[in-house]
């Protein structure tokens, strides 16, 4: 069983959370200037890191807030997180 | 030595001491015409078809551990063609047909068993989705058909009525097939090896060497190998291997689980799919019930998978089949899949000349012979067959996605 340390609610069952993807990803500043390949990259490319990555998660069946957390994708161990 | 009744009888006279290993344990040579990365069904198949149809026998298959130890060993054996979009319906239809005759082709019994599949429908939406699938696949010659509740109950006598989701009908998929998954890898390995392909186990590719003309070779844990063409047939680590060739794949790695019960007497002769509850199960020749569900809702390389999925899957199956309540489970496993955004495979050239990929089958066991054939054809001719053109990598730039929901990876 994987537990996720929600910064607001503490350790909770992973089933209560929704994965939100790479926390570094930013929507392009000037959408009209982005090429098709650039949009494709923004929409479909994911870093798919094997190792520790920072990700968004949302405590959907709890406080319903987003937070950023570090997870090792080799073990699913969550290491560090920050509020908001 | 050919596997045949005659040779079996002959060997029995010598107490079966004359059998040879099924494939040569080759040492890596300095250079090859083609290097295939990944010694599963797809990779070994591609090597076999390169040698058989294209006369390219200076081929090496590099496998980082043992043959067929990845997702070829971690799947639920089902070969089905119930897809929704014409491109993938056509492809999976052809893929299903490509299994027929495989045993004879490789002279190895892959235990193909055309046992059929039954889908249980529990809502009007299920029913209209099923009609859509039937109409689409009929264009390519598939024979799925809707069956009524009475016929469904005759086929699945153990099925109870569900209070929450009453059963409204079913779909009969008479051509859905299962095959012995390990035998697919062994059969291809043996047949490819007999045609001169080098199969090299315990040989991990650590880098792909590039020059101005594209691929120039691969660095492996057993030294450098020169080659102008590399075919990638890995699962789970497509991102990492493609990155060595400067190719970014739009895939995410997710565990997909299955679980197996203790063997029981024969109770079902079909693969059973419960559509609304996203689960399926079948009984193996040994009598075990194999059950599975959807991929994990978050990416991971852990080969574990969330425990919420088995819980939900079993609850769903028990709701309809309470007779399984006291079954014991022997094992659970998760294979890691490369999933694309549209749940369709990528069999394609890439921006790096000489680097080809067959990846992200989203449960790619079912397509093994066809994908391998197409991959081999692509490597040999450097252009895609019309059948796989829609599955090219550039569909993510053009927006021509094949958003296939009929895949287990469905999100």
What pLDDT, in 10s, does the model give residues B295-350?
888 899 988 877 888 888 898 899 899 999 999 999 888 889 899 988 899 999 99
Does the CB of B253 have a partner CB in chain A at under 8 Å?
yes
Q: Is the pLDDT of residue B7 over 90?
A: yes
- For an interface test with A, which of B300, B303, B306, B339 has the most A Cβ atoms less than 10 Å from its Cβ? B300
pLDDT (average), residues B75-100: 93
For chain B, what is the HEC assignment? CCCCHHHHHHHHHCCCCCCCCCCCCCCCCCECCEEEECCCHHHHHHHHHHHHHHCCCCEEEECCCCCCCCCCCCCCCEECCCCCCHHHHHHHHHHHHHCCCHHHHHCCCCCCECCCEEEEECCHHHHHHHHHHHHHHHCCCCCCEEECHHHHHHHCCCCCCCCCCCCCEEEEECCCEECCHHHHHHHHHHHHHHCCCEEECCCCEEEEEEECCEEEEEEECCEEEECCEEEECCCCCHHHHHHHCCCCCCEEEEEEEEEEECCCCCCCCCEEEECCCCEEEEECCCCCEEEEEEECCCCCCCCCCCCHHHHHHHHHHHHHCHHHCCCCEEEEEEEEEEEECCCCCEEEECCCCCEEEEECCCCHHHHHHHHHHHHHHHHHHCCCCCCCHHHCCCHHHHCCCCCCCCCCCCC
Angle CA B365–B63–B26, to nearest 5 = 125
Q: Is the pLDDT of residue B205 over 80?
A: yes
Q: Is the pLDDT of residue B65 over 50?
A: yes
What is the pLDDT, as a whole number, of residue B360?
83
Q: Is the pLDDT of residue A84 over 60?
A: no
- Dihedral of CA atoms B95, B405, B275, B152 in degrees, nearest 10, equals -40
Lowest mean pLDDT among B5-14, B181-190, B356-365: B356-365
* Domain that residue A76 falls in: 3-82
More confident residue, B52 or B257: B52
What is the pLDDT, as a whole number, of residue A81?
67
Does the CB of A75 have a partner CB in chain B at under 8 Å?
yes
pLDDT (average), residues B81-110: 94
pLDDT (average), residues B153-169: 87
CATH number for A9:
3.30.2270.10
Q: Is the pLDDT of residue B184 over 90?
A: yes
Q: Is the pLDDT of residue A61 over 50?
A: yes
pLDDT (average), residues B368-395: 96
Q: Which residues of A touch B252 (CB under 8 A)?
A: 46, 48
Q: Which residues of B touch A14 (CB under 8 A)?
A: 306, 308
Cβ within 8 Å, pair B237-A44 = no
Domains of chain B in sequence order: 113-176+252-340 (3.30.9.10)
What is the pLDDT, as a whole number, of residue B409?
46
What is the pLDDT, as a whole number, of residue B293?
84
pLDDT (average), residues B28-42: 96
Q: Is the pLDDT of residue A83 over 60?
A: no
User: How far is the alpha carbon of A75 from chain B, nearest alpha carbon, in Å?
Assistant: 5
Calculate what percentage of chain B has a pLDDT beyond 70: 98
Q: Is the pLDDT of residue B172 over 80?
A: yes
Q: Which residues of A touch B306 (CB under 8 A)?
A: 2, 14-15
Q: Which residues of B touch A43 (CB under 8 A)?
A: 341
Q: Is the pLDDT of residue B411 over 50?
A: no
Q: What does the block give as tokens for B226?
A: 């020169």
Residue reference for tokens 């045993």 = B103
Interface of A with B in 6-25 (CB under 8 A): 13-15, 18-19
Over residues B259-296, the pLDDT tens digits come to 999 999 999 999 999 988 889 999 999 999 999 888 88
pLDDT (average), residues B66-83: 90
What is the pLDDT, as a whole number, of residue B70?
87
Q: Is the pLDDT of residue B410 over 50?
A: no
Q: Is the pLDDT of residue B181 over 60?
A: yes
Does the CB of A60 have a partner CB in chain B at under 8 Å?
no
Mean pLDDT over each residue of chain B, to the nearest integer: 92
User: How far is the alpha carbon of B234 from chain A, nearest alpha carbon, in Å?
Assistant: 15
What is the pLDDT, as a whole number, of residue B113?
93
Distances (CA, A) of B235 to B232, B240, B242, B264, B361: 9, 10, 11, 32, 8
Task: Kindly report the pTM of this predicted structure.
Answer: 0.93
What is the pLDDT, as a whole number, of residue A2?
77
Total structural domains within chain A? 1
Q: Is the pLDDT of residue B408 over 60?
A: no
Calculate what percentage of chain B has a pLDDT beyond 90: 78
Cβ within 8 Å, pair B306-A36 = no
Q: Is the pLDDT of residue B206 over 90?
A: yes
| C-alpha to C-alpha distance for B388 and B372, rounded to whole angstroms | 11
Number of neighbouring beta carbons within 10 Å of residue B375:
29
User: How far is the alpha carbon of B342 from chain A, nearest alpha carbon, in Å?
Assistant: 10
């Amino acid at each position: 069983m994987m537990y996720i340390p929600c910064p607001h609610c503490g350790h909770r069952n992973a089933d209560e959370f929704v994965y939100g993807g790479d926390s570094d990803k930013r929507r392009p500043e000037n959408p009209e200037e982005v090429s098709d390949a650039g949009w494709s990259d923004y929409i479909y490319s994911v870093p798919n890191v094997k190792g520790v990555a920072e990700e968004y998660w949302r405590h959907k069946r709890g406080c319903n807030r987003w937070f950023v957390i570090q997870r090792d994708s080799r073990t699913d161990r969550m290491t560090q997180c920050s509020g908001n | 030595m050919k596997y045949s009744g005659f040779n079996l009888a002959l060997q029995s006279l010598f107490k079966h001491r004359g059998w040879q290993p099924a494939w040569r344990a080759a040492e890596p040579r300095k250079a090859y015409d083609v290097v295939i990365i990944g010694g599963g069904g797809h990779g070994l198949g591609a090597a076999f078809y390169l040698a058989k149809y294209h006369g390219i026998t200076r081929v090496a298959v590099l496998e980082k551990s043992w043959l067929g130890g990845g997702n070829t060993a971690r799947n639920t054996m089902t070969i089905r063609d119930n897809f929704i979009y014409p491109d993938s319906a056509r492809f999976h239809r052809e893929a299903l047909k490509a299994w027929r005759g495989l045993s004879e082709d490789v002279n190895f019994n892959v235990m193909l068993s055309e046992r059929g599949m039954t889908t249980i429908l529990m809502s009007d939406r299920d029913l209209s989705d099923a009609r859509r699938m039937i109409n689409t696949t009929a264009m390519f010659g598939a024979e799925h058909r809707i069956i009524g509740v009475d016929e469904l109950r005759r086929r699945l006598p153990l099925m109870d009525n569900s209070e929450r989701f009453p059963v409204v009908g079913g779909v009969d998929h008479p051509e859905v097939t299962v095959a012995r998954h390990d035998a697919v890898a062994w059969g291809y390995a043996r047949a490819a090896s007999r045609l001169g392909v080098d199969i090299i186990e315990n040989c991990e590719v650590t880098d792909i060497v590039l020059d101005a003309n594209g691929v120039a070779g691969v660095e492996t844990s057993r030294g450098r190998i020169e080659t102008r063409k590399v075919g990638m047939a890995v699962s789970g680590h497509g991102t990492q291997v493609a990155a060595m060739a400067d190719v970014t794949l739009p895939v995410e790695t997710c565990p997909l689980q299955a679980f197996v019960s203790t063997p029981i007497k024969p109770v079902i002769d079909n693969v059973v799919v419960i559509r609304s509850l996203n689960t399926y199960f079948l009984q193996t020749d040994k009598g075990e019930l194999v059950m599975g569900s959807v991929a994990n809702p978050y990416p991971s390389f852990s080969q574990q998978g969330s425990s919420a999925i088995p819980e939900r899957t079993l609850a769903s199956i028990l709701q309809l089949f309470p007779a399984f309540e006291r079954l014991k489970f022997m094992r659970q496993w998760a294979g890691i899949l490369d999933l694309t955004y549209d749940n369709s495979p990528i069999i394609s050239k890439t921006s790096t000349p000489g680097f080809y990929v067959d990846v992200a089958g989203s449960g790619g066991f079912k397509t093994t012979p066809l994908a391998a054939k197409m991959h081999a054809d692509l490597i040999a001719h450097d252009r895609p067959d019309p059948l796989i053109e829609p599955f090219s990598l550039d569909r993510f730039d053009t927006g021509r996605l094949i958003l296939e929901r009929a895949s287990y990876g469905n999100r």
